[in-house]
Chains A and B, each alone.
Chain A
Amino acid sequence: DAKTTQPPSMDCAEGRAANLPCNHSTISGNEYVYWYRQIHSQGPQYIIHGLKNNETNEMASLIITEDRKSSTLILPHATLRDTAVYYCIAGAETDKLIFGTGTRLQVFP
């Protein structure tokens, strides 16, 4: 797996966009970028993943730079329920995901 670097914590005001960065400078050409989150002590929840192109679904958008060395997860209108730890994972080593330490996002009223 490519190593990822994420800020340990971020704050966001409710209703504003939350932009969570991730660096994965050693990612190789065929490795996907995945985002999961863990709300409180629940099981991780899949958010989105992509290879080269930007992706959008009902939860979020994923912007991957052209050189693929970094990406940003965008929650367009953060709510209090989006408070969670967000994990960026680059690659699936031997077909398994290796989680890092993630970013703790706190959404405040």
Chain B
Amino acid sequence: GEEVAQTPKHLVRGEGQKAKLYCAPIKGHSYVFWYQQVLKNEFKFLISFQNENVFDETGMPKERFSAKCLPNSPCSLEIQATKLEDSAVYFCASSQLGATNEKLFFGSGTQLSVL
């Protein structure tokens, strides 16, 4: 498709529960990026993929966050044992050839609320 599709739009979890977010990149795009935006503040880079391979995971909290991009499946971002501080909007973006000299196309985000 021509849009980055993120599901669900909204997700509510109790503290300690698992949360799983999905992102379908634009067809033909090789790169996927995940960002976290807390309270409309700055975007925090989490992780990027080149096809199904992790390209850069320097922003990922090591303990509870994991992500995958498997062939023929939407990419996913999973948070084990959510905490209140994980409440944020999670944006996914895709591009053809990375971020340098390229356009990133962003999805509309998943609003995660941890209660």
Residues of A within 8 A of B (CB): 32, 36, 41-46, 49, 51, 92, 94-101
Q: A92-B99, A95-B55 are contacts. A46–B45 as well, Cβ < 8 Å?
A: no
**Residue contact A95 to B48, C-beta cutoff 8 Å:** yes
B105 CB–A CB distance under 8 Å: yes
**Residue contact A45 to B106, C-beta cutoff 8 Å:** yes
Interface of A is mostly: loop
Residues of B within 8 A of A (CB): 4, 31, 33, 35, 40-43, 45, 48, 55-56, 58, 89, 91, 93, 98-101, 103-109
**Residue contact A43 to B107, C-beta cutoff 8 Å:** yes
Q: A95-B99, A96-B56 are contacts. A44–B48 as well, Cβ < 8 Å?
A: no
Residues of B within 8 Å of A41, CB to CB, are 40, 89, 109
Q: How distant is B91 from chain A, measured CB to nearest CB, in Å?
A: 5
**Residue contact B42 to A100, C-beta cutoff 8 Å:** yes
**Residue contact B48 to A96, C-beta cutoff 8 Å:** yes
Q: How distant is B30 from chain A, measured CB to nearest CB, in Å?
A: 12
- Give Cα distance in the complex from A80 to B106, angstroms: 22
Q: Which of A41, A46, A92, A97: most chain B CB closer than 10 A?
A: A97
**Residue contact B56 to A44, C-beta cutoff 8 Å:** no
Q: How distant is A36 from chain B, measured CB to nearest CB, in Å?
A: 8
- Give Cα distance in the complex from A99 to B45, angstroms: 9
Residues of B within 8 Å of A46, CB to CB, are 103-105
Q: How distant is B5 from chain A, measured CB to nearest CB, in Å?
A: 11
Residues of A within 8 Å of B99, CB to CB, are 92, 95-97
Q: Among the listed A42, A95, A100, which residue makes an inter-chain contact with B56, where contact means beta carbons less than 8 Å apart? A: A95
Q: How distant is B4 from chain A, measured CB to nearest CB, in Å?
A: 8
Q: A95-B56, A96-B56, A101-B42 are contacts. A44–B33 as well, Cβ < 8 Å?
A: no
